[in-house]
């Protein structure tokens, strides 16, 4: 293969200067951080703690959690019971007991996480009787060895994206082709990027663009040629994704592809949810949701890539691709509901709490914020249960992997059938996303959002947090205190089902 090079590699001398500048910058940032701690707990550098906590609470001190020194802490435990009789997804199953409130402790995270006040005498951190919970079985392992995924982005974004990409690609046998668009990137950097992904069981090939004058949008179309060249005999599908395209369940993607014929030209993707964007950019597969093309279509396009790049007025990758397909092939778009471009801004809580089972998610670290890999961790254990909803005691809704919401005065099934209009100008999305209800005022809905999920000794621990004021001591002096709810899931052993 021809060695591509866009610019000469960075010299050692300029590298040294860059390192010094970056170090000084980071130190400045660190110093600033210490000053702006406010009520957040104090943490010594280099992970030194003054008084450490018991191992089952110590994670609460993690800096990235950003919790207040004192927190209100509750813990609940479930034992998943695999069942084929779980209720259909649209209806919210009822559980006739409360999820929260039976007891809460206030912990001091800077003092061994000791209990400084408690609503009941028992130590709940240590006594957590698991409640049996009927839940769907895990999906079978996904085999994506017939798919080549392609992305065009920078080296650092590829490094940062490992946790999210590995959630769905690791161990699936998929081929992953990355066009690294940095102005200059060394062979060593490309090789160590491949090693990084290899250590997560992902077969990555990292290359430079075949024409460095293209900008990153154009690269998203020009990659067609590389997908063609780097596909294997096994490859039936080529997918173009953004570096923030996330698939909660790779098995669902294998199911989607299996329902289409890969021996004829096929162009499969998701429309934007924004009617304005459709009016402006047109009907096409919006790349952030993931675009899937059969190899016969890729072969047809391969010979037209230069021509389309030269002819096209639009320079957006998605528009170049659809224009080239419409101008040079007979293939129409198959629009798949469930592939989400998520062209919305603000709080997407109403979407994530709507009972949706998304095939893909996008814009989760830019237009909105959602820890998608942590959220979807539950899908590894009970597949279909991701974002499934249960209602406890008529007023508390668990949207699995995303949130726990306590509605003052309860919430009805007809209300839960509607999407809560939480994000910016949400009502404008009713035509594309479905019927909505008004956003519930913060004073009437207490929300705990998931910030972390981690497997510990075969159990899954989900951490939900509600930042803000809490005045449990009732002395009128409101101290800003975060509230933490932990859900611990244990699962049947293999020989039990
Ligand atoms: C659920 O159904 C599948 C397929 O029909 C079967 O293999 C599995 O054993 C069933 N699981 C339970 C818990 O009944
Ligand atoms: C995936 O499927 C291919 C083709 O059917 C097969 O050769 C391969 O062994 C499978 N991989 C895994 C990990 O099951
Ligand atoms: C990655 O895929 C390429 C192309 O199919 C193949 O030649 C190579 O052996 C694969 N590497 C690994 C580590 O599986
Ligand atoms: C790269 O693209 C530019 C136009 O953007 C074109 O003039 C040039 O010939 C192309 N080079 C190659 C090697 O295709
Ligand atoms: C497709 O054809 C239209 C009409 O001739 C043209 O405006 C557009 O730029 C073409 N797009 C591509 C990608 O070739």
399 φ, ψ (degrees, to nearest 5): -100, 100
- The pLDDT of residue 38: 35
Nearest atom in ligand 2 to 143's CA: 1
Nearest protein CA to atom 7 of ligand 3, as residue: 232
Q: Is the dihedral of CA 162, 168, 171, 174 positive or negative?
A: negative
Distance set, CA 320 to CA 131, 301, 302, 445 (Å): 53, 11, 13, 45
Contacts of 465 (CB under 8 A, 6+ apart): 65, 67, 448, 449, 451, 482, 483, 484, 485
- The pLDDT of residue 155: 98
**Ligand 3 lined by 203 (C-beta under 6 Å):** yes
Categorize the per-residue pLDDT at 104 as very low, low, confident or very high, splitting at 50, 70 and 90. Answer: confident
Nearest atom in ligand 5 to 307's CA: 14
Residue pair 349/403 in contact by the 8 Å Cβ criterion: yes
Categorize the per-residue pLDDT at 35 as very low, low, confident or very high, splitting at 50, 70 and 90. Answer: very low
* Candidate of 84, 85, 140, 497 to mutate for ligand 1, largest count of ligand atoms within 8 Å of Cβ: 84
Nearest Cα residue to 239 out of 308, 174, 161: 174
Residues 333-392: tens digit of each pLDDT: 999 999 999 999 999 999 999 999 999 999 999 999 999 999 999 999 999 999 999 999
Residues 131-180: tens digit of each pLDDT: 898 899 999 999 999 999 999 999 999 999 999 999 999 999 999 999 99
Categorize the per-residue pLDDT at 37 as very low, low, confident or very high, splitting at 50, 70 and 90. Answer: very low
Nearest atom in ligand 4 to 212's CA: 1
- The pLDDT of residue 325: 98
Say if strands 175-180 and 147-153 run parallel, antiparallel, or are unpaired: parallel
- The pLDDT of residue 36: 33
Distance (Å) from CA 323 to ligand 5 centroid: 6
Q: How many CB atoms lie within 10 A of CB 431?
A: 10
Over residues 10-22, the mean pLDDT reads 59
Distance (Å) from CA 29 to ligand 3 centroid: 42
Over residues 250-264, the mean pLDDT reads 98
Nearest protein CA to atom 2 of ligand 1, as residue: 84
Beta strands in 93-180 (DSSP E): 93-95, 105-108, 114-118, 131-135, 147-153, 175-180
* Topology (CATH level 3) of domain 147-335: Spore Coat Polysaccharide Biosynthesis Protein SpsA; Chain A (3.90.550)
Say if strands 70-82 and 105-108 run parallel, antiparallel, or are unpaired: antiparallel
Residue pair 456/391 in contact by the 8 Å Cβ criterion: no
Residues 265-312: tens digit of each pLDDT: 999 999 999 999 999 999 999 999 999 999 999 999 999 999 999 999
| Structural tokens at position 184 | 């200059």
- The pLDDT of residue 5: 72
Q: How many CB atoms lie within 10 A of CB 432?
A: 15
| Structural tokens at position 150 | 């392609």
Nearest atom in ligand 2 to 145's CA: 1
Contacts of 487 (CB under 8 A, 6+ apart): 76, 77, 78, 398, 461, 462, 464
- The pLDDT of residue 492: 85
Residues 39-76: tens digit of each pLDDT: 566 555 665 556 788 988 999 999 999 999 999 999 99
* Candidate of 6, 211, 221, 310 to mutate for ligand 4, largest count of ligand atoms within 8 Å of Cβ: 211
32 pLDDT above the threshold of 50: no
Q: Where are the domains of the chain?
A: 147-335
**Ligand 3 lined by 102 (C-beta under 6 Å):** no
257 pLDDT above the threshold of 80: yes
Q: What global pTM score does this model have?
A: 0.89
Over residues 251-256, the mean pLDDT reads 98
Distance (Å) from CA 231 to ligand 2 centroid: 16
- The pLDDT of residue 129: 85
Distance (Å) from CA 213 to ligand 4 centroid: 7
Distance (Å) from CA 23 to ligand 4 centroid: 38
- The pLDDT of residue 4: 76
**Percentage of the residues of the chain whose pLDDT score is greater than 70:** 86
């Amino acid at each position: 293969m021809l060695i591509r090079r866009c610019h000469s590699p960075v010299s050692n001398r300029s590298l040294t200067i860059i390192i010094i500048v970056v170090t000084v910058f980071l130190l400045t940032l660190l110093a600033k951080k210490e000053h702006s701690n406010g009520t957040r707990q104090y943490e010594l550098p280099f992970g030194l703690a003054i008084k450490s906590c018991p191992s089952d609470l110590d994670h609460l001190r993690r800096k990235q959690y950003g919790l207040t020194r004192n927190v209100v802490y509750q813990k609940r435990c479930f034992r998943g019971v695999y069942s084929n009789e779980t209720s259909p997804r649209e209806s919210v199953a009822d559980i006739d007991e409360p999820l929260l409130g039976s007891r809460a402790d206030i912990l001091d995270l800077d003092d061994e996480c000791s209990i400084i006040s408690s609503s009941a005498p028992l130590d709940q951190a240590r006594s957590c009787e698991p409640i049996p919970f009927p839940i769907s079985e895990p999906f079978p392992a996904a085999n994506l060895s017939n798919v080549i995924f392609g992305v065009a982005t920078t080296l650092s974004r590829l490094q940062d994206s490992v946790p999210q990409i590995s959630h769905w690609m690791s161990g699936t046998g998929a081929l992953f082709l990355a066009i690294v668009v940095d102005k200059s990137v060394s062979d060593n950097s490309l090789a160590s990027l491949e090693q990084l992904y290899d250590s997560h069981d992902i077969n990555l090939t990292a290359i430079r663009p075949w024409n460095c004058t293209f900008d990153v949008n154009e690269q998203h179309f020009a990659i067609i040629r590389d997908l063609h060249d780097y596909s294997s005999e096994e490859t039936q599908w080529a997918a173009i994704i953004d570096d923030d395209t996330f698939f909660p369940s790779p098995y669902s993607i294998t199911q989607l592809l299996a329902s289409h014929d890969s021996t004829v030209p096929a162009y499969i993707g998701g429309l934007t949810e924004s009617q304005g964007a459709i009016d402006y950019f047109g009907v096409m597969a919006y790349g952030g949701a993931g675009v899937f093309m059969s190899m016969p279509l890729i072969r047809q396009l391969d010979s037209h890539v230069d021509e389309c790049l030269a002819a096209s007025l639009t320079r957006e990758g998605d528009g170049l691709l659809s224009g080239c397909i419409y101008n040079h092939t007979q293939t129409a778009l198959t629009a798949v509901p469930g592939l989400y471009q998520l062209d919305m801004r603000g709080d997407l809580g109403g979407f994530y709490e709507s009972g949706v089972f998304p095939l893909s998610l996008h814009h989760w670290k830019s237009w909105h914020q959602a820890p998608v890999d942590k959220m979807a961790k539950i899908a590894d254990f009970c597949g279909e249960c991701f974002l499934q909803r249960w209602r406890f005691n008529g007023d508390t809704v668990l949207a699995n992997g995303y949130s726990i919401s306590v509605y003052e005065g309860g919430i009805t099934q007809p209300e839960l059938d509607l999407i809560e209009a939480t994000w910016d100008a949400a009502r404008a999305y009713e035509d594309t996303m479905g019927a909505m209800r008004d956003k519930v005022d913060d004073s009437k809905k207490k929300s705990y959002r998931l910030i972390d999920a981690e497997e510990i000794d075969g159990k899954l621990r989900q951490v939900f947090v509600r930042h803000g004021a809490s005045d449990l001591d009732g002395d009128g002096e409101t101290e800003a205190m975060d509230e933490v709810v932990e859900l611990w899931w244990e699962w049947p052993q293999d020989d039990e089902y």
